[in-house]
Structures are given as C-alpha cells and as structure tokens.
Structure 1
Amino acid sequence: MALIKSVRGFTPKIGENCFLADNATLIGDVTLGNDCSIWFNTVLRGDVNTITIGNRVNIQDGSVLHTLYQKSTIEIGDDVSIGHNVTIHGATIKDGALIGMGAVVLDHAVVGEGAIVAAGSVVLSNTVIEPGSLWAGTPAKFIKMVDTEQSKEINQKIAKNYLMYSEWYTQE
C-alpha cells in the first residue's frame, strides 16, 4: 500500500480511479486529479509547498516531485506523461506535455502545452518552453516545433496506455 502521509496539517487529496503503486509516497500538500497513476518508487513530496496534478497524469517509476519552501509550487495539467526517473522541482507542466525519462525540470520553469522535453534533458530554472516544441540537452535548448496534432495524439496515447496499465494492477 502506498505511503500517504500528512505533514504541517496537509493531507494528500486523491481523485477518483487513481492507481498508487505499493511503494509510491505522497506527502503533505498534494492534490491528484482523476485517473492518475503514480508508479513504483515515485515520491510526491508536498511538505514545503503545493503540488497540484490534473487528470489522466502518469508519473512513472522513480520520479521525484518537490518544491522550494514559500517560493515555488508544482502545477501539472491534464494528460501529462512524466517518464521514469524524472525530477520536477517547483515547475509548471501544461496540458498534454511529455517529460522524457531521466529529465530534470527546475524551479519556475514552464513546459508549454503539448511540448516535449527529451530524455536526459535538464530544463534550467525560469526557462519557458513554448507549446508544441521539442527541447533537449543539458541544459535543454529548443530543437524544433513538433506537429501539434501528432504530438497531441502521441501524448494522449501514452496517457491512455498508462491508465490501462494501472487497471492491470487493480485486477490482481
């Protein structure tokens, strides 16, 4: 069973039909929308500030989400996929975005709607990634614009697949 821990008077709020892996950890001021999946060894640590997650978001194995005390929050829109071993620290991720495996997104960065952050990239603090763009590298830099409809289709397919995967675990 996932660890759900209150701290400083805040208890995580979990939407309907969410899957929390057995060793996922949700602490403090965390709000999950509906149909989310939080995978194995993932930590959402809302002890020092707010983490708000939309609907149909999947946060894959080993990811860590945290903020700065009284300085940054995390806001994640709908239909977002966060790859394995991602670190998000006090950033905003808009609807339909994809954050690739092992990426790092730092405080006050904004990842636009339908944007893609490539695996292994480091998005520095205060970076603004335009909607529908692909960024990669360390530090992450603009690579190209992606086809909006194709990006939306791919990102929504990943989000739907992770909803399906999570259902496998509830059937056991």
Structure 2
Amino acid sequence: MHDHPEALVLAYRGKAPQIHPSAFIAPGAKIIGDVEIGEHASIWYNCVLRGDLGPIRVGARSNVQDGTVIHVEGPRIGAKGEVLPTIIGEDTLIGHMAVLHGCRVDDRAFVGMGAIVMDKAGVLSTGMLSAGALLTPGKTVGAGEIWSGRPAKPMRALTPEEIAGMAEQCDHYLEMADHHRGLANVG
C-alpha cells in the first residue's frame, strides 16, 4: 500500500514507483513503474506518469500540473533498443496538459500549458517552452531562451524578471500543494 490512497500507484514488471514522503500526489494521478518523485515535488490531478519502458524522474520541488502525460521511449517488450527516459530536474514547472516523451527538462525550466516535448528533445535550465508549443525530436531550448510555435523555434531571450517569475511560480506551487493536501471529499 502507498501513502496516496486516491492516486493509482502501480508496480510494473517488478519496478514500483519511489515517491518521497513529502511529495504531494493529487487524487486521480496515475504513477506506474520505474518512476521516482523527489522531495516536495507535486503531481497534480489526473496526471499520468508511465515508466513502463524506461525511467521517469521528477526532481525536488518540481510540479507536474493537471492532466499532464509523461512517458518514455524504449524497446518494444522482448526487443533490444535504446531507452529514452524522461528526466525532469529540480524546481521545474510543467504546465497543465503538457506531454513529455523520452525527453529532458532541466532544473528551473518551464514547459507551458499544452506544450509537447518529444523524444531526445530538451529544455535547458531557465529555458521556457511556451504554451501550446511543439518541441520536435532532438531540439533543445537553450538556457534563458523562450521558444514558441509548432514546430517550436527560438523567439528571444527571457528577461531576468521572467526568470525570477518562474521561481516565484515554483514557490507558489509548493504552497498550493500544502493547501491541497488537506482537502476532503464532500461529495
């Protein structure tokens, strides 16, 4: 049994999710297989983190917002091939309904609402992928850059105020997680 009774936390092929006791896992979240969630991270309502073909890592204090889907790329069952884990660093923002697949999002980076990050793509520290953007395979958002569009392309450098704003949003989600921990079902 796990400490998140209203979330679905499942072992897959002998690998059970490892969730730090201080992490917030919202009701309705689904966490399967080789998934590690760091200290004070938050996984919000109706997120799916499916580490069946390879590992998923979510760093300390990062937040994965409502409806996000995170998966990995790996060999088909019984086949050999490259495993592409999905690695999310520390103090990272993953916006509502994002899709991350076999990619990397570094410390203090931001993936906007509805954005897609595909295989071997990445967002470097303090980089931002805007809402609705599509980061195609192998592309990398540079540190302190904002990329936008489908396919995503570099737009400009972020201002120091925008980078500070991302850190403030991370702090906001730490506080929100504490408030949501105590919610009771009134239905």
2:26 to 21, 28, 34: 21
Picking from 66, 72, 81, the partner of 2:71 is: 66
Does structure 1 retain, via aligned residues, the 8 Å contact 2:61–2:92? yes
Rg comparison, structure with higher value: 2
1:94 alignment partner in structure 2: 106
Cα distance, 1:156 vs structure 2: 1.3
Aligned residues: percent identity? 35
How far is the alpha carbon of 1:150 from its aligned partner?
2.3
Amino acid at match of 2:96: H
SS of 2:32's equivalent? strand
Q: Which aligned pairs between 1:124-139 and structure 2 lie closer than 5 A? A: 124-139=136-151
Partner of 2:60: 55
Pairing of 1:1-172 with structure 2 (within 5 A): 1-69=6-74, 70-147=82-159, 149-172=160-183
Q: Is the 8 A contact 1:132 1:151 kept in 2?
A: no
TM-score by length of 2: 0.89
Q: Secondary structure at the match of 1:62?
A: coil
Counterpart AA for 1:168 = H
C-alpha separation in 2, matches of 1:60 and 1:3: 16
TM-score (norm 1): 0.96
Greater than 6 Å deviation, 4+ residue runs: none
CA distance in 2, matches of 1:115, 1:152: 8
Which amino acid in 2 is paired with 1:155? M
Is the CA contact (8 Å cut-off) linking 1:135 and 1:144 kept in structure 2?
A: yes
Alpha-carbon offset, residue 47 of structure 1: 0.7
How far did 1:109 drift?
A: 0.4
Indicate the residue corresponding to 2:79 in structure 1: none
Say whether the 8 Å CA contact 2:53–2:83 is kept in structure 1: no
Q: 1:170 Cα deviation (Å)?
A: 1.9
Letter in 2 for 1:161: H
The letter of the residue matching 1:73 is: P
Consecutive unaligned residues of structure 1, counting only runs of 5 or more, are none
Distance 1:150 1:27 in 2: 37
Amino acid corresponding to residue 38 of structure 1 in structure 2: I
Structure 2: gaps of 5 or more residues: 1-5, 75-81
Distance 2:19 2:161 in 1: 31
The residue type equivalent to 1:80 in the other structure is T
